[in-house]
Amino acid sequence: MFASLQNIFNIPELRKRLLFTLLLLSVYRVGAHIPTPGIRGDALSEYLHQAASGLMGFFDMFSGGALSKVTIFALGIMPYITASIVLQLLTVVIPRLQALAKEGEAGRKKIVEYTRYGTVFIAAFQSFWMAVGIEKMGGGAFVEAGGWSFRILTMITLTAGTTFIMWLGEQITERGIGNGISLIIFAGIVAGFPQAVGNTVELVRVGQIPYYMLPAILAIVVSVVAAIILMERGQRRIQIQYAQRMVGRKIYKGQSTHLPLKINSAGVIPPIFASSILLFPATIAGFAEMPWVKGIASQLSPGKMLYTTVYVLLIVFFSFFYTAIVFNPVDIAENLKKYGGFIPGIRPGKKTSDFLYRVLTRITLGGAFYLAAVCVLPDIFYKTFNVTFYFGGTSLLIVIGVALDTVSQIESHLIQRHYGGFLKGASIKGRR
């Protein structure tokens, strides 16, 4: 383990990428503490914690506390995720976007450009209504000077903050290690862990959580972590056989390999997408003063039946949706047929694609239920143990998923350069 950590710094490119990633994440955390001009942040933060702790507490974890403090990064990266969802949905139904998606790198850059425009629009919309809501709270007690100047200034500030976060994520993805957007969410969640643990310890100290319940809570947390790691690494391997073939004057013998199908092919995308969609209306409802809007906000709070139902349905939907985007059984079957590969007992072509589709559907369904079960775990903790810290659930799933993906990327860099990796048995075939 320690040798692998040392090897990271022995590779100049990997060391540069890692330090660059840490630098930009540090910039993000600094920006999460810069207050928005014209707002009495401390008083507003205390009011939000008291008035809407359930709603704000859940969505605040994605921004690392920036939402409840109404800093320049209050909107976080959620507008970008929402824009990505909209673009991916439109890609399925709009032929022009479908054509762009098939154009390779040029088409991908164009879709990314559209996503950026959508991010700015959504961020401007959310920030404006957030400014209006803050201005009406407490009769204007949390605003130094209200009016259109305050609304426009807040809208520009928060939109610029989201745009800057989006740029940071893109830079990390391009020049750093791991997926930049996921790492930003990861950093925000991890930053809130110490305070959450401290709050839980305080609940134990005052007697709201009995001492004898701590071993049970710890055991459940460890079990959930182990289960998440097991499921994230779990896969169904489908045997692929390549027939003997002749290329020029050379005869290549038949080879046997496998096609890995992950149980959770979508990763942490479904819960992030589902949370983003729930955040969009909840942000507006949470700052509104109208009774019926408050009622909607209450029903969309974690722990409510409507929230749990919608959240689970969205996770299941995005599990199938994103899996269909990243894995196309028809394309896989055509490629296998083109290169002389086949699944034993299955005819090449349509029969192969149908078989892959059936297997993938069953695996994805199990993976979707696993994601939904893990993500609703905080409600169980709250109702059973009165633990306000989200042990497990979306936060822990994202942290573990992003950590595994990042470690895998570092692992690939190490193995490519003939260094030992973090995982046991990580070596190149034929290496001595």
CATH of the domain at 359: 1.10.3370.10
Question: Which residues span the domain enclosing 145?
Answer: 2-416
Assigned domain for 322 exists: yes
Lowest-confidence region among 7-21, 109-123, 205-219, 417-431:
417-431
Give the three-class secondary structure for 237: strand
Whether the CB-CB separation of 129 and 283 falls below 8 Å is answered with yes
Q: Return the minimum-mean-pLDDT range out of 15-24, 126-135, 158-167, 247-256.
A: 247-256
Within-domain flag for 330? yes
User: In Å, how far are 110, 241, 242, 299 from 254, measured between CA atoms?
Assistant: 42, 7, 5, 60
Question: What pLDDT does 427 receive?
Answer: 41
429 within domain boundaries: no
Least Cα distance to 283 among 102, 95, 19, 67 occurs for 67
End-to-end CA distance of the chain: 20
What pLDDT is stored for residue 430 in this prediction? 40
Tell me if 424 is assigned to some domain.
no
Q: Looking at residues 93-104, what average pLDDT do you find?
A: 80
pLDDT, residue 118, reads: 92
Domain count, the chain: 1
Residue 432 in any domain: the answer is no
In a domain, 292, yes or no: yes
- Specify the DSSP class assigned to residue 260: E
Question: How many CB atoms lie under 10 A from the CB of residue 245?
Answer: 13
| Residue 426 located in a structural domain | no
Residue 422, in any domain of the structure: no
Instruction: Write down the pTM of the prediction.
Output: 0.76
pLDDT digits (tens, 9 = 90+) for 146-170: 788 888 988 999 999 999 999 999 9
Percent of the chain whose pLDDT exceeds 70: 76
Q: What are phi and psi of 183, to 5 degrees?
A: -65, -35
